[in-house]
Amino acid sequence: GVSLSQSISGTLRCLLEVLHPGLRYFLQPFLIMYYAPILAARYYVAGPSRKYVEESRRGHERVVEGWRRAVEAAERANEGGYWPVHLNDDGTIVTSLPPNPEDVLDLTDGIEKSVAAATTAASEPTMV
């Protein structure tokens, strides 16, 4: 089907192609100032599309799953020692207190160190 944006773009292209390129270059910011509020109002009235929401959710799930794999790899690499983040039985990433209170890390720093440790462990050759 034909969308509203396709018909508007086609109409404006037909109208503006007869103008001199310098004049089209001059008019372009005014067209942006005209369409930006219309698009913003459409977003706030109609909200994001279902496809956009689903793609965002899938992307978020991929990121969190990557963090979980990184935490698991970091825990395996540091077995027997302290590691600041762990996975619960339900798969939630949680922090644990260090043996030394001076070494407190927040969850973000722990995940960052887990990703770095997992990347380092994955790049090192394994001995068999």
* Distances in whole angstroms, Cα of residue 46 to Cα of each of 1, 5, 50, 52, 127: 20, 16, 11, 13, 57
| Per-residue model confidence (pLDDT) at position 30 | 85
Mean pLDDT of the chain: 78
Is the pLDDT at 70 greater than 60? The verdict is yes
| Per-residue model confidence (pLDDT) at position 97 | 65
| Per-residue model confidence (pLDDT) at position 126 | 56
For 81-121, the pLDDT digits (tens) are 767 777 777 878 777 766 665 665 666 777 787 788 777 77
Q: How confident is the model at residue 60 (pLDDT cuts 50, 70, 90)?
A: very high
Is the pLDDT at 128 greater than 50? The verdict is no
Question: Hunting for tokens 């977003």 — which residue is that?
Answer: 43
Which of 73, 63, 44, 77 has the alpha carbon at shortest distance from 108? 63
Which of 106, 104, 121, 105 has the alpha carbon at shortest distance from 69? 121
φ, ψ of residue 85 in degrees (nearest 5)? -125, 145
Give the mean pLDDT of 70-85.
74
Question: Hunting for tokens 């207190």 — which residue is that?
Answer: 97
Share of the chain above pLDDT 90, in %: 7
- At position 25, the amino acid (one-letter code) is Y
Q: How confident is the model at residue 58 (pLDDT cuts 50, 70, 90)?
A: very high
The model carries a pTM of 0.47
